[in-house]
Structures are given as structure tokens and as C-alpha cells.
Amino acid sequence: MKYVSTRGAAPELTFEEAMMTGLARDGGLYVPEVIPTLSHNQILAMQGQSYEEIAYTVMHPFIGDTFTDEEFRELINAAYVDFRHAARAPVKQLDSNHFLLELFHGPTLAFKDFAMQLIGHMFQASLTRSGKRITIVGATSGDTGSAAIEAFRGLKNVDVFILFPHGRVSEVQRRQMTTPVEPNVHALAMDGDFDDCQAVLKDMFNDFDFRDGVNLAGVNSINWGRVLAQVVYFFSSAVSLGAPHRSISFTVPTGNFGDIFAGYIAKRMGLPIKELVIATNHNDILHRTLQTGSQVKEGVTPSISPSMDIQVSSNFERALFEAYGRDGITVAAQMDDLKTKGAFTISQGAIDILRDTFSSGCASEDETYAAITDELVRSGELLCPHSAVGVTVADRSQNAIPMITLATAHPAKFPEAVEKATGLHPPLPPHMADLYERLERVTRVPNDLSVLKTLIKERIAK
Ligand SMILES: *Cc1c(COP(=O)(O)O)cnc(C)c1O
């Protein structure tokens, strides 16, 4: 299995190389050369299987010969052993035909753990084999950073630097990033918003001297290994509700388009997914894109669902690449327009394809609070604000097809919003109960590429 760039001008890579690289050298994102499919019977056989068994079947066709079958099984088992729910990704019923996929039972209480725990183990296996040392730099709107730190803390051949927007993440998110004691963990609070963090990170990857000098590796949601790990729970949840004998729809709280793109891959692999609904908060660039056919960048307005406060939705490029029939030159031109003019217009043919695959909706702050309040009364489920955005949008598109909404984080990660909506203060799980007493360690940094490069070089030289 080879991987190609969405901009068509970077070398083809193996799974292992694509995973270790992150961003392609032409600025594009890696996607598999062909999307493998699973047969009806292969999907049927998942009924009653463990999450780990399903994960193996779904991901195995993508990894080529990077790991032996036995190694790969061991990596999967190791990745999910610390989850606090035996089902890993349990499905709960909210209403007669509306279900919630709980993705917050991992160590840092957000869905990011599903991918990050797995790629942490895969990176480690790969580095042990090659003897290489790498520098991971990631940008986060809150949850990727904590999940990456959890996955890579204390690893011998890895330094991990996380850029988060100063003052724009929740206190629990910040403390998860600033309290680990391992010296290979570096939390950097940057002036600006998440899009600024993501932009400076992309500039770092496009500076090839620096990139090669420090062996830069990326674990942001554009990393193919992460998208792949997220495909699994679309299968496990749909199968638990009767797929492949019946179709299922999904609503996905969306920021960087990683999670919903994983749903798209599941569909292309043969899972009978009827609708894939993009749910956004008031930072609704994706919703507007589908409505108007143009992607127009506006400023980010902070919300109670900070992990979705994004205007440059990186993984959308992968969907665009598919909608344009894998025409990398057109994708490169559109991405260039986005960077230089802050906007691009999608061709009629491509937007029709996107609208066939995805629908969308957005939830205001008031609607999000109301969904948290109402859902507690209706089903007893305490939603985090991101999940509440999803439930709000999903409730509008109810029909005869079962709807699964992804619950992307645990309510205790966003206690202020949850308490304001319900009067209840969601407690942190026992393994994190002393989070507020732990010592914080963080470096405040400006939004300045050269300052950051110098800091990273100095830290890894120690
Ligand atoms: C990252 C995140 C999202 C957005 O996911 P994308 O893959 O970036 O679209 C939504 N909710 C929570 C809680 C998150 O951490």
C-alpha cells in the first residue's frame, strides 16, 4: 500500500513513512493510493467481536508490511488497555432512534486518545527498530495536545512540543498539558488562536533545513495514522446497531475535519453509512462551505466548545481531493487561494459530490447550553459542549435511519459550561482527581517562527 499527496507533487511513501512524516513536502496530506474495501461478510463477522478485533480487520489493509500481523495485534491491544470501559467505545441510547457513541473513556477523556494511544505505540515500535530520534511538534485546540503528551511522555527517542493558544483552552485541558513531569514534554502557550498555532507549525514543516535538522514528526489530525485509527469506531458502533444489514447515519462534532473524514473512509470501505452530518459551533466555516460552495475564512470567535474553534479545517483538503477526482493540481491551487486570499470557490461538480456525501448544521451557544440541559432531563446523559453541538444538529436531521452522534469528550473536561447548563459539577475520574494540585510547567511563546525554532533546537540539545 502506497500513500500519495493531495497536492500531487510529493514522493509516494509507505504507511510507516506517511505516519512518521505528517505533512507532505508539497504542503499536501497523505492519502492511500486506493481505499481498500471490506466485504459484506467481513463486516458481518464483526458482530460480537471485541473492539480490538474489529480494529485489526479495519486497519490491517492499510498498513502494508510495516508490522507483522502479530506485532500489529499487540500494538492494538497495548493501545486500548488503559481505557476505562471494556467496550472502549460504548454506544448508548438517547431516544428511540438516536444513539450516542461515547469516545471519552481513554486516559485524557477525549476521542483523540483512540488515535494517539495507537500511534504512540506504533511510533515507538518504529523508532526502536530504526534507532532514530525524533522531535514531535503539535498544535492543539486543547485535546490533541493532552492526548499526544499522554501517548509520548517518557519515551526515550522522542521530544514532544505542544503549541496551544494562550488563554483559549479550558483549565482541565491546560493542566493536562502542563503538569506531566517527564523532561521530554514541553508545553508552549502561544499568543494567538489555534489557527495561528497551526499556521506556524505548517511553516516549520515547510522549512526543510529545520525539518530535517531536528527530525520533525507531526501528530496533528492530518497524520494519516490518526485518521485510520478513527475509522474503527464507525464500524464498531454501526455493527452493534445492526450493520451491515441496515444503514446507519452519523453526526460528528467537527473542527479540523479529521473525525468526520474517518467516517467517510468507513463509508468508502463498504460500511452502509446513509448520512454523514458535520456539526459545527458558531465558527461555522464548514457549514457555510457546503451551503454556498465557497470556503471563506473569517475570524475565530471563542466558544464553549473550544476544540472546534477553528477556521482552517485542514483535513477538508482530503475530502476536496476526492471530490475533484484526485486532481492534485486543482487542490493545490485552491489551497493556495485559501492561504493568499482567505477564500476559494469549489467547482459545481465537486460541490455536488461533497453535498452527496456530507450534510451540515451549526449550533449557537444558547442551543448548545440548552442541549446539555435538555439531554440530562430526557436521558440522564451529561454531555460535554462539543457533544451537545452534535446532539443539537442531529436532532434536526432525525428520520427513519438510526442516528449515532459522536460524544467527543467527557463532560468533566469542560466543567464550567456543564455546570452553567445543569447546576451539576462533573467530577474528574479518579486517575485525574488531583489535577488541580499538580505543579504546572509551561513556556509562554510569541507567534514567531524563528523564536520557536531556536527554542526547540536548544531544548533538544540538552
Ligand atoms: C478535536 C475535537 C473535535 C473536532 O474533531 P476534528 O477531528 O478536528 O474535526 C471535537 N470535539 C472534541 C472534544 C475534540 O477534542
Over residues 393-414, the pLDDT tens digits come to 999 988 899 999 999 999 999 9
307 touches ligand 1 (CB under 6 Å): yes
- As to burial, measured by CB atoms within 10 angstroms (0-12 exposed, 13-18 middle, 19+ buried), residue 181 is exposed
Residue 132 belongs to some domain of the structure: no
Q: Residue 401 domain-assigned?
A: yes
* Ligand 1 pocket residue status of 256, Cβ below 6 Å: yes
User: What confidence score (pLDDT) does residue 417 get?
Assistant: 96
CA dihedral angle for residue 88, residue 89, residue 93, residue 95, rounded to 10 degrees: 160
Using one digit for the tens of pLDDT, what is the confidence trace for 282-297? 999 999 999 999 999 9
Instruction: Report the residue among 408, 413, 414, 418 best suited for mutation to probe ligand 1: largest number of ligand atoms under 8 A from its CB.
Output: 408
Q: Kindly state the average pLDDT of the residues 267-284.
A: 97
Which residues face 403 on adjacent strands?
A: 98, 249
Which CATH number characterizes residue 415's domain? 3.40.50.1100
Provide mean pLDDT across the span 353-364.
97
What pLDDT, on the 0 to 100 scale, is given for residue 110? 96
Note whether residue 335 is domain-resident: yes
CB of 409 closer than 6 angstroms to any ligand 1 atom: yes
Residues 7-22 have pLDDT tens digits of 999 999 999 999 998 8
Ligand 1 lined by 254 (C-beta under 6 Å): yes
pLDDT of residue 141 exceeding 90, the answer is no
Contacts of 432 (CB under 8 A, 6+ apart): 109, 176
390 inside domain = yes
Taking the centre of ligand 1 as the mean of its atom positions, its distance from the CA of residue 256, in whole angstroms, is 7
Nearest-atom index, ligand 1, CA of 409: 13
| Cα-to-centroid distance, 69 and ligand 1 (Å) | 30
Q: Is residue 18 part of a domain?
A: no
The percentage of the chain sitting over the pLDDT mark of 90, rounded to a whole number, equals 92
Specify if 139 maps to a domain: no
Specify if 123 maps to a domain: no
Q: Which protein residue has the closest C-alpha to ligand 1 atom 2? A: 307
* Ligand 1 atom with minimal separation from the 259 CA: 7
pLDDT average, residue stretch 302-314: 90
The string of pLDDT tens digits covering residues 86-112 is: 999 999 999 999 999 999 999 999 999
In the predicted model, what is the mean pLDDT of the chain? 96
**What is the mean predicted confidence (pLDDT) over 223-246?**
97
Beta strand 158-165 with 134-139 is parallel
CB atoms within 10 A of CB 42: 16
Judged against a pLDDT cut of 80, whether residue 78 lies above it is answered with yes
Portion of the chain with pLDDT greater than 70, in percent: 100
- The atom of ligand 1 lying closest to the CA of 142 is 15
Among the options 112, 202, 413, 453, which is catalytic?
112
pLDDT band at 415 (very low <50, low <70, confident <90, very high): very high
pLDDT score for 44: 98
At 461 the pLDDT is: 85
Structural domains in the chain (count): 1
The pLDDT of residue 278 is 98
What is the reported pTM?
Answer: 0.95
**For the residues 192-211, what does the mean pLDDT come to?**
93
Report the pLDDT value the prediction gives residue 270, as an integer from 0 to 100.
98
Give the closest residue (by CA) to ligand 1 atom 14: 307
Residue 193 lies in a domain: no
Q: 267 lies in which domain range?
A: 87-107+224-422
> What angle, 0 to 180 degrees and rounded to 10, lies between the N-to-C axes of helices 258-268 and 316-323?
40
What tens digit of pLDDT does each residue of 419-457 get?
999 999 999 999 899 999 999 999 999 999 999 999 999
202-229: per-residue pLDDT in tens?
Answer: 999 999 999 999 999 988 888 999 999 9
The answer, yes or no, to whether any atom of ligand 1 lies below 6 A from the CB of 263, is no
Residue 147 backbone dihedrals phi, psi, to 5 degrees: -65, -40
3-class DSSP state of 161: strand
Q: Which atom of ligand 1 is nearest to the CA of 143?
A: 15
112 is catalytic: yes
Residue owning the nearest CA to atom 8 of ligand 1: 256
pLDDT at 398: 81
CA distance 401 to 221: 29
Q: Is the CB of 253 under 6 A from ligand 1?
A: yes
pLDDT value of residue 207 = 95
- Average confidence (pLDDT) over 267-295: 97
Ligand 1 within 6 A of CB of 308: yes
Q: What is the structure's pLDDT at 330?
A: 98
